[in-house]
Amino acid sequence: MTILLTGAAGFIGYHTAQALLARGETVVGVDNVNAYYDVRLKEARLAQLASRPGFSFHKADIGDRPAIEAIVARHPEITRIVHLAAQAGVRHSLVDPYSYVQSNLMGQVVLLEAARHLKTLDHFVYASSSSVYGDNKTLPFAIDDKTDTPLSLYGATKKADELMTYAYTHLFRLPATGLRFFTVYGPWGRPDMAAYLFTRAIFAGEPIKLFNAGNMRRDFTYVDDIVRGVVAALDRPPADGGAEGPPHRVYNLGNSRAEELRDFIAAIERATNKKAILVEEPMQAGDVRATWADVSASERDLGFKPSTSIDVGIPNFVASVVNLAAGPRGEAAKSSYSISAIRRAASSLPLATGGSLRGCAHRASRSSARSPAHKVSRAISRAVPFWPSQCTRYGSSGQMPRATNSVGVLWQPASATVP
């Protein structure tokens, strides 16, 4: 089976590609590798995929109609599409709304048009979001709940994607499934998401901003569970109901638990053996107070059963971060958290603004030598460009601080799991 996968360089797209390749599928990846966050992280994901038999890649914007049409023309054997590419981020939609229109609206139509002209296609799976629920007061969020009061442009574009896809399934009887993702985290994740931001701040000894004074809940979902849901949906095209309705379904994919934000941070504290510095802040525009997925329909139709609690997922995630800091072989995460391994790995990694980390590694060597070998947080915060320090200068990528973007993408997390 040949599958067109958009967003292949992205977090969920990367893990989905790995899962599909592992079961012998042919994957045609598409991504524009934009600079919303550090492109080196995306390139590192693609480098991992490029070594796998059955994977090919096309660098293209999903909103570029001629480019997508050319890719589809080169691969007429495509039987299914997994459309995960999008401009992500609730808060960023306040800064650059046009990129959301181009990627999330135009991109969806371009892919739908490509899908309906593929004679061999039997299923179109696409990413939606829990953000479509907006100001919904009923918890947990169920598929039939009201979704016409989005609180962000991002959420509005994802709701529009569902509506446009429904219209296409009605007009052209194209089987399609939308998946509403709930706050995904895990190895190789996005550096603008809570798990990375909180872990970075805790290791660096920097304060964590608790919006709405921390009175927020999120359905944090481990990436392996999400990927299992995506693959399960892909394997189950909805039936055409004829006069009763077109072949279109929408499902929630979440952990089905609303975790208190402070509990999520506490899990990171336990995994890092380090206390967080918390600063209470007011609610931000576009945010919602709680998300919680009702996955009963997903369990019934897809066999979806999320199994990774934050007590399991967060230690796995933090271990992957430590492995990142230790280098490609993950030396520091093996038994004794070797400070010297962290320094050796850091010495050859690039700074966000160019040059090398040898000077940073030297300073880390002097400071960390006074710490017990199992206390790696100070060495990581000083030796690795992912963590802000005097070694990483703040610059501009046009969208986000470079220190936030600077993920050590030459490292490979040894503990990253592929379902």
**Residue 324: band (very low, low, confident or very high) from pLDDT cuts 50, 70, 90:** low
Retrieve residue 333's tokens.
Answer: 């995460």
Measured CA to CA, the distance from residue 130 to residue 114 in angstroms comes to 26
Identify whether 90 is part of a domain.
yes
Cα atoms in the 13 Å half-sphere on the side-chain side of 330: 14
Retrieve residue 165's tokens.
Answer: 């896809």
Q: List Cα–Cα distances, 252 to 229, 230, 304, in angstroms.
A: 9, 11, 10
Residues 249 and 390 in one domain: no
Residues 6+ apart with CB under 8 A from 276: 198, 201, 202, 208, 265, 268, 269
Identify whether 410 is part of a domain.
no
Q: Which of 79-93, 295-309, 327-341, 377-391 has maximum average pLDDT?
A: 295-309
Retrieve residue 185's tokens.
Answer: 């985290």
Q: Which one of 126, 154, 185, 222 is the catalytic residue? A: 154
Identify whether 104 is part of a domain.
yes
Range of the domain at 356: 327-405
Identify whether 76 is part of a domain.
yes
Burial class (CB in 10 A: 0-12, 13-18, 19+), 203: buried
What integer is the mean pLDDT of 251-267?
95
Cα atoms in the 13 Å half-sphere on the side-chain side of 257: 17
Cα torsion 49, 55, 57, 62: sign? negative
* Cα 101 to chain centroid, rounded: 20
pTM exceeds 0.85, yes or no: no
Identify whether 282 is part of a domain.
no
Retrieve residue 215's tokens.
Answer: 């009175």
- The DSSP string of 198-214 is HHHHHHHT-EEEEEGGG
Identify whether 278 is part of a domain.
no
For residues 62 and 8, the answer to whether their CB atoms sit within 8 Å is no
**Residue 110: band (very low, low, confident or very high) from pLDDT cuts 50, 70, 90:** very high
For residues 164 and 318, the answer to whether their CB atoms sit within 8 Å is no
Residues 95 and 240 in one domain: yes
Known catalytic membership, residue 37: no
Measured CA to CA, the distance from residue 187 to residue 348 in angstroms comes to 22
Residues 299 and 376 in one domain: no
Burial class (CB in 10 A: 0-12, 13-18, 19+), 34: middle
Residues 107 and 175 in one domain: yes
For residues 346 and 360, the answer to whether their CB atoms sit within 8 Å is yes
pLDDT at residue number 74: 97
What integer is the mean pLDDT of 170-186?
97
Residues 372 and 301 in one domain: no
- Please give the tally of structural domains in the chain: 2
Q: List beta partners, residue 123.
A: 80
Identify whether 241 is part of a domain.
yes
Identify whether 285 is part of a domain.
no
What's 415's DSSP letter? T
**Residue 332: band (very low, low, confident or very high) from pLDDT cuts 50, 70, 90:** very low
For residues 137 and 80, the answer to whether their CB atoms sit within 8 Å is no
For residues 121 and 113, the answer to whether their CB atoms sit within 8 Å is no
Residues 372 and 247 in one domain: no
Select the more confidently predicted residue: 278 or 370. Answer: 278
pLDDT digits (tens, 9 = 90+) for 37-53: 889 889 989 999 999 99
37: domain CATH number is: 3.40.50.720
